[in-house]
Amino acid sequence: MQRKRDWVILSGSSNPDLAKKICERLERPLGTIESRRFSDGEIFVEIKENVRGRAVYVIQSTCAPVNDYLMELLIIMDALKRASAKEINIITPYYGYARQDRKVSPRTPISAKLTADLLTTAGATRVVSVDLHAGQIQGFFNIPFDNLFALPVMQKHLEDSLLKKDEDVVVVSPDAGGVERARALAKRFNANVAIIDKRRTGPNVAKAMHIIGEVAGKTAIIIDDMIDTAGTLTEAANAVANHGAKRVLAAATHGVFSGPAIQRIMDSKLEKVIITDTIPLSSDAKRCKKVDQLSVAPLLAEAIFRIHNYDSVSSLFT
C-alpha cells in the first residue's frame, strides 16, 4: 500500500505570528516545538511532533538577535535530521547576514556564504526566502533555493490605499544597486525611474548627493529591499522632497528598524512607509502611524503548497 506523502509545519521563535498566518492559510496545524535557554545562554529544543519519514517545513527569520535565531534554527534542523525527517525545508523570510555577500576589503569574511554552508551542513534540503539583499546568494547553495518577491503585495496596497487614480508617479532607487528593483515596480505603474547618487562614508552611514531623473511635481515611491537604521531612506526622502516631489512614499520588504530608525522616519518628509511581516515589528514601529505592515503569509503559504505538491513555483517569481 502506497503511503500518502505527509508533512508538518514548525516554527522557531523569531516570527511565530507569521507562522500561524501561514498555517491558517494552508489549513494545517502548526507543530509544537519546545525551545528554552539554559542559564548560560545555550539553546535547547525538543520536537513534539513525529517527523519520521515526513517532509518538514521550518519557518524562521534570522533577524535580530540574528545569532540566537540562526543557532536555534540549526539546532532545530539537527533535531529533525536525528529524528529521521525525510525533508527539511527552511522557510527563512528574512535571510540574516545577506549584506555580507562579498569581500569588501582584505581579510574580511563572506558571512552570507558561511551561513549557507551552515544551513546545508545542518541538513537543509531546500531554502525559501523573500527578497534576498543580493540574488546571487542563491549560488552559495548546492540545494534548491527559491527567492520570492514581495513587490506584488506592496503594489496592490499602493494602488488600493495610497495612490489616487492617474496619479503621476516616479519610482526612486535610493542607490545604484537597487535600480533593477525600482525598474520592476516602475514597469507595473508605467512610471519613470529616478536614482539617488549616494556616497557611503561608513557602516550604516550614508549621504545622498544628488538625483538622477525628474521628481518635481510627482509622487515619489522610494523602493528598497530593507530598512535598517533608515539613514539611507530618510536621506533619499528629504532629497526627493527638496527637489519638488509632491508626496514621498516608501516601500521595503524587510523592516529591520534598528537604532534610531523610527525616530528618523517620524522626523522625515516621508508620508508612509510600507513594509512586510518577514520581521516582527518592534513596539516603537507598531506605534508609528507612518508605518504600514503587510503580510507575506499568502505568498509563503502558496510556495509551501506548491513545493509540497511538486507544482511549479516559477509563477511566484513574477
**Which one of 20, 103, 187, 198 is the catalytic residue?**
198
Told to judge if 156 belongs to the known catalytic residues of this protein, a careful annotator would answer no
Contacts of 208 (CB under 8 A, 6+ apart): 174, 196, 197, 198, 232, 235, 236, 238, 239
Active site residues: 198
